A and B are shown apart, each in its own frame.
Chain A
């Protein structure tokens, strides 16, 4: 048993804390207002920290806070390298700053605008021609984001997690170098390291002018100037969600698609989403990829693109061009390969079920880990489970099966489980039964123009009591709907049990329950 001199941590001065972690953290003293506790479990003098988390996003912060709960000495390093257009942001990662949060707010803003037409028919005195103020929306979205940035900072301080606003790289398996490019770089040593660096939008390297003139989702949500007529290159969820809300906000939006929409998702539903968006004002340029972006004399952007079907090269002018062709893990230039951490082809960290990399004390979760869903709740959960395994002796592993997800296109799409294609591939087409129905939410009937655009598809495994293995919902409030059903699916609901549940929602006939 070790006995340590109880040393009173010097009261914090009103100047900013020194960056040398070792003097403050050498003795593990967790202080509260008037009591002194110490935890000798983690008293490894050779390390400054028990757990060093690189990346202050959804996964990193959740894991750090959970570990600190168990008394571990934890630090988080978060640093945002500016985008090619110069955008940067505060603590919280992609989801909070340039992902889920601002996206959902702008999606809501667009929907609120569309509702004007329904409101008029409901009897409200509304001017359906009223214009949208981009600057005001961005200001309010950014205000909310900054509140979250600060809230996370406060939370880390409250939970005794040290926060470095510096770029971290690994020197050896226990040593991290931290650099903010203002003060000299410092080194710290940690027992366990978590890589939670997420990813950044990919720019094409074969399109002249792309990085010079094109923006990405990193820039869109803080764009000071009105975007005007915008081209979205890429038709996965980022491209479609952004084009969708920009159309809803009244700007001319065009989506350039190389081949298919929403790769990896159920293609039947993906095509219905495309049809809905086209019907509601988003234009699609299909089977095409851009070749060049240049600036015109008037200051607009002229995009040259190749149609792969006709082999024609065409041109069109836009005010803004946004690339949403994919995301790359931020694992380059971190020194990972030098110390033996194996990366997959696209740069993601290869991990086992324990989230452990090829180096025994280095772990990775979230977008930067190979084979993991690029979803915030999934990263948060994985981060917490990992912290419990490392610091609380627990053994539970993260279960990545049947993770529900929602795409916030103008008509929202929630899904849980297998797509039709994936189900056929895994179980064989003859062993899978597909049930589906089109529907129209009752409240849509104020506007006769609205069609039966809602869609539900339930996929079952005939060889296993018709267990539901895939659920797809295209309609309003898709997130809320899918969340509920995902519990049933995870518990192994069968089609019979599904049908025996009475509906609580009204739709114009037929009811989606009867099918």
Chain B
């Protein structure tokens, strides 16, 4: 069914722009379970991969992910919303789990992640656009994701 679509719509109140923390979040296991569904939609989709939240600090253990939150909230989320592009926000796990080279998303056929944060603009035809780490800090760079 339209799992992510339901979760997505639940958080839209009129014209309120979604901020990253209020995006529906998938932990790594949920994501791997549902990924086939996301990809089988054959619809351009934005995947955002970040380090999981440290419960003590309330923020991600990954400093780059924390720094990218505002630019992503200012640029990627509003434009995607405007264009009707779904966003899937996945927390890749704890620091040690992510640092292990055998992490499922590092070896993944499609995603093949090299670092976090990663913004992965997935296209059904395979012409994906990927931005990694400090590329996610600059609003001008984030805008290029949506350029034709």
B-contacting residues of A (Cβ < 8 Å)?
11-12, 14, 16, 33, 143, 146-147, 150, 153-154, 157-158
Distance, CA A157 to CA B135, complexed state (A): 10
* Contact (A33, B127) CB under 8 Å given A12-B139, A154-B144: no
What are 19 A-B pairs at a CB distance below 8 A? A11-B139, A12-B140, A14-B78, A16-B147, A33-B67, A146-B127, A147-B127, A147-B128, A150-B129, A150-B144, A153-B144, A153-B147, A154-B131, A154-B135, A157-B140, A157-B141, A157-B143, A157-B144, A158-B138
Q: Which residues of A contact B127 (CB under 8 A)?
A: 143, 146-147
A-contacting residues of B (Cβ < 8 Å)?
67, 74-75, 78-79, 125-129, 131, 135, 137-141, 143-144, 147
Q: Which residues of B contact A150 (CB under 8 A)?
A: 129, 144
List the 9 closest A-B pairs by CB distance, nearest first.
A157-B140, A12-B139, A157-B141, A146-B127, A143-B126, A154-B144, A33-B137, A153-B144, A12-B140
Complex contact B143–A154 (CB within 8 A): no
Of A14, A143, A146, the contact of B143 (CB 8 Å cutoff): A14
Of B79, B128, B144, B147, the contact of A14 (CB 8 Å cutoff): B79
Distance, CA A305 to CA B147, complexed state (A): 47
Q: Which residue of B lies closest to A12 (CB)?
A: B139
A-B contact count (CB 8 A): 36
Main secondary structure of the interface of B (DSSP, over half): helix
Distance, CA A228 to CA B36, complexed state (A): 38
Complex contact A158–B139 (CB within 8 A): no
Q: Which residues of A contact B79 (CB under 8 A)?
A: 14
* Contact (A14, B75) CB under 8 Å given A143-B127, A150-B129, A154-B135: yes
Q: Choose among A143, A147, A158 the residue with the greatest number of B CB atoms under 10 Å from its CB.
A: A158
Q: Which residues of B contact A154 (CB under 8 A)?
A: 131, 135, 141, 144
Q: Which residues of A contact B67 (CB under 8 A)?
A: 33
Min distance, Cβ A223 to any Cβ of chain B, angstroms = 18
Q: Which residue of A lies closest to B82 (CB)?
A: A14
Min distance, Cβ B12 to any Cβ of chain A, angstroms = 18
Min distance, Cβ B46 to any Cβ of chain A, angstroms = 15
Q: Choose among A12, A14, A153 the residue with the greatest number of B CB atoms under 10 Å from its CB.
A: A14
- 19 new A-B contacts at CB < 8 Å, known A33-B137, A150-B129, A154-B135: A11-B139, A12-B139, A14-B75, A14-B143, A16-B143, A33-B67, A33-B138, A143-B126, A146-B127, A147-B127, A147-B128, A153-B144, A153-B147, A154-B141, A157-B138, A157-B143, A158-B135, A158-B138, A158-B141
Distance, CA A146 to CA B144, complexed state (A): 14
Min distance, Cβ B20 to any Cβ of chain A, angstroms = 16
Q: Which residues of B contact A157 (CB under 8 A)?
A: 138, 140-141, 143-144
Distance, CA A147 to CA B143, complexed state (A): 16
Q: Which residues of B contact A33 (CB under 8 A)?
A: 67, 137-138
Q: Which residues of B contact A11 (CB under 8 A)?
A: 139
Min distance, Cβ A12 to any Cβ of chain B, angstroms = 5
Min distance, Cβ B63 to any Cβ of chain A, angstroms = 12
Q: Which residue of B lies closest to A145 (CB)?
A: B127
Q: Which residue of B lies closest to A143 (CB)?
A: B126
